[in-house]
Amino acid sequence: MARIITVGAAQLGPIARNDSRADVINRLIDLMKQAKSVGCDLIVFPELALTTFFPRWYMENQVEIDAFFETEMPGTETRPLFELSAHLGIGFYLGYAELTIEKGQTRRYNTSILVNKSGQIIGKYRKIHVPGHIEYKPEQTFQHLERRYFDIGNLGFQVWRAFDGIIGMCICNDRRWSETYRVMGLQNVEMILIGYSTPQETHLSQFHNHLVMQDGAYQNATWVVGVAKAGREEGCDLIGGSAIIAPSGEIVAKSITLGDELIVARCNLDLCQPLSNFEIYRQPQYYQAICEQKSVTSEDV
């Protein structure tokens, strides 16, 4: 019997700087209810889904900065989303800004979590490919200060057995780099969940957005679910273009608006059976050879 996950990609339109957590959570709750009404097992929200994309502003006041971060998950304001997840029996992926203490030091990460149908966190990822710059650049119309506000993720590219499959996570700029997909592919990943908040920088922005996700899906025989922030948010145009992509590299569902929108696909995980010689090249000997720059013979695999 085919292993089917019905997935909802929950694109979000603009979030204003002064929108409260409660306002945003209500929007997520509405999308979760829509997803459940059409039979979704899993709903995927974007990167930094609880606030506006605050790294576009240069800030020096740490109290002002930390107001965008979550110190616990779930917390008082986000708990209703977890409670609804458990009540409806639907899992979710959520991107947010995480503030935590590690070995006595305060750390701040661009984070995503995977939550099961019982409303329990079963996986966490912290963004590794953190883009942008640290100091203010007056010559730029928009700042991109992620490196000012976020530490580099320290959890690696893990996968989790959930929803009758093998699920991986990454965030935004991670999707640009082949090693993101490759490391999870070597762990036999069957679906990669990606939240992003990407500005419309050139006429090629949307083309490149889909290109890298389709390429990652095809080369690693995995489903990819890419979910965007979209629309004109605080003067910055975000590309949207949320998409659910099959292991063949084909887009099977895509958003058509720049606002809150749910797109849905029934994803057969059995289609992830490696195509052509993919199974051979997923062997860990190849990855070790890449890292150590040594040769691999056919007897090794």
Is residue 47 annotated as part of the catalytic site, yes or no? yes
Q: Give Cα 50 distance to the centre of its chain.
A: 14
CB atoms within 10 A of CB 176: 17
* Domain definitions of the chain by residue range: 4-300
16: enclosing H helix or E strand:
none
Which of these is catalytic: 47, 70, 233, 261?
47
User: What residues does 169 pair with on adjacent strands?
Assistant: 193
Q: Which of 40, 170, 172, 236 is an active site residue?
A: 172
pTM assigned to the model: 0.92
The DSSP annotation for 50-100 comes to TS--GGGS----HHHHHTTSBSSSS-TTTHHHHHHHHHHT-EEEEEEEEEE
Give the model's pLDDT for residue 297: 45
Summarised one tens digit per residue, pLDDT across range 37-63 is: 999 999 999 999 999 999 999 999 999
139 touches 126 (CB < 8 A): no
Active-site residue, 127 included: yes
Strand segments (E) across the chain: 4-11, 42-44, 91-102, 105-115, 121-126, 159-162, 165-171, 191-196, 223-228, 230-233, 236-239, 243-245, 251-254, 261-268
Exposed, middle or buried, 68 (CB in 10 Å: 0-12/13-18/19+)? buried
- Annotation: CATH topology of 4-300: Nitrilase/N-carbamoyl-D-aminoacid amidohydrolase (3.60.110)
First to last CA, the chain: 30
β 251-254/243-245 pair status:
antiparallel
| pLDDT tens for the 301 residues of the chain, in order | 789 999 999 999 999 999 999 999 999 999 999 999 999 999 999 999 999 999 999 999 999 999 999 999 999 999 999 999 999 999 999 999 999 999 999 999 999 999 999 999 999 999 999 999 999 888 887 789 999 999 999 999 999 999 999 999 999 999 999 999 999 999 999 999 999 999 998 999 999 999 999 999 999 999 999 999 999 999 999 999 999 999 999 999 999 999 999 999 999 999 998 654 666 666 666 666 656 655 444 444 4
State the catalytic residue, choosing from 40, 70, 98, 127. Answer: 127
